[in-house]
Amino acid sequence: MKFKRTIVITGGAGFIGSHVVRLFVNKYPEYKIINLDKLTYAGNLANLKDIEDRPNYRFVKMDICDFDAFYQLMQDEHVDGIIHLAAESHVDRSIKDPFTFARTNVMGTLSLLQAAKLYWESLPEGYDGKRFYHISTDEVYGALEMNHPEGIEPPFTTKASSGAHHAAYGDDFFYETTKYNPHSPYSASKASSDHFVRAFHDTYGMPTIVTNCSNNYGPYQFPEKLIPLFINNIRHRKPLPVYGKGENVRDWLYVEDHTRAIDLIFHQGTVAETYNIGGFNEWKNIDIIKVVIQTVDRLLGRTEGEDMDLITHVTDRLGHDARYAIDSSKLQKELGWEPSLQFEEGIEKTVRWYLDHQEWMDNITSGEYEKYYESMYAGR
């Protein structure tokens, strides 16, 4: 079968990546979608069981740092689009092991860029019709001030009908023009990769796009992240470890809203531009935790809020940024995107999914999924 396009999605077995792969495979049967993933601890092909047999889908187990292998794949598959999500992304892990984050996030991105450059420049049409789309994070911008830390009650949806918005906890947001000021090894590695992507456009003319997104939540998220970890702990009545007082503020976006933005930007975004993707939805960590507890309790038939005593305050994380908040006005105005779910609706869907997929959660928390794929791909 001849496909109209061939697109590589890196990190496609991970949380956000699996949602992007599923969307593209289902929405664009005329595209060949190659899911490229190393299958580290956060990669899980069970996330894509529903589309693994589709004729326009192929999985390739590969390390993005393997330049030779990726360059060969570019040539063999005639790849004309790359959506790059593969990354080490957990701040706590980056504090303990910054070298792994530098290798994967910086050198891995550079490997992809160079392979794409060499292949696309070898073609008669050059860069025409090609696109390298790099997904980054709001954490590269550093932290925002919190001017109103007390006396504000959730929810904090801040989008107004005019497209303008006000701040719930401060008077500023991250804009596409905000100066980079990363504070953790993770965010420093992502900032560096962003700079390499832009440099390949400025130096070689490669058609690149960068997006910086706020915290995502939803189905298939690896359960070391706050929301799935706490859902599972509440279910089993285990402690809920909260950094410090839980006063740190984040902007939250349902993962399927992020994937819709990625689809739109990949196809209609302007080359060399940056787009911020956020939910206009600021919450203190402690308030999110309380909503999750109430929702899990209710859906499990417990008294709503009875598991509040599971909250356990622990020593704060090193360099824990106070507040992140994304301004998505550019994306709204230029491409017409906006979030589709209010946070309470998204949390309800998310909690229901994890409670209904306990086998998926148990396979991850037990490590069984890793053993399965290690045996499947042994020697490859």
Positions marked active-site: 138-139, 186
Strands (E), 85-226: 131-137, 208-213, 215-217
Return the SS3 of 251: strand
Cα angle: 23, vertex 344, 333; to 5 degrees: 55
Q: How far is CA 72 from CA 79, 115, 155, 354, in A?
A: 10, 9, 49, 39
For 55-121, give the secondary structure using H, E and C.
CCEEEEECCCCCHHHHHHHHHHHCCCEEEECCCCCCHHHHHHCHHHHHHHHHHHHHHHHHHHHHHHH
Q: How far apart are CA 80 and CA 178, in angstroms?
A: 31
On whether the CB atoms of residues 46 and 15 are closer than 8 A, the answer is: no
Return the SS3 of 299: helix
Q: Which residues contact 367 (CB under 8 A, 6 or more apart)?
A: none
Q: How far apart are CA 269 and CA 378, in angstroms?
A: 40
The two structure tokens encoding residue 231: 């859902």
Packing angle, helices 343-356 and 226-235, rounded to 10 = 50
